[in-house]
Amino acid sequence: MPGHANGKAAAEPCANLSSDLRCRLWAQVERPSCCAGLKPSDEMCGDNRQQALAWLSALELASRP
């Protein structure tokens, strides 16, 4: 999978995500502003992790160059 010039490739987990799926930068000033400003919605999160990942996958497909 090709890398991204400004970060991670699509479908690649964030480098700040721990093995137990928690943000290592949570509540720290180093946490990116785009993360801190994100307003999660029911549509985005769904009822479980699988639904949230499916929503992300659909966004990645829709925004593919």
The residues binding ligand SF4 (CB under 6 A) are 14, 16-17, 23, 25, 31-32, 35
Least spacing, CB of residue 21 vs ligand SF4, in Å = 9
What are the contacts of 25-32 at 24+ separation with CB within 8 A?
Answer: none
Least spacing, CB of residue 4 vs ligand SF4, in Å = 14
The torsion defined by the Cα of 59, 12, 2 and 63, in degrees rounded to 10, comes to: 10
Least spacing, CB of residue 32 vs ligand SF4, in Å = 6
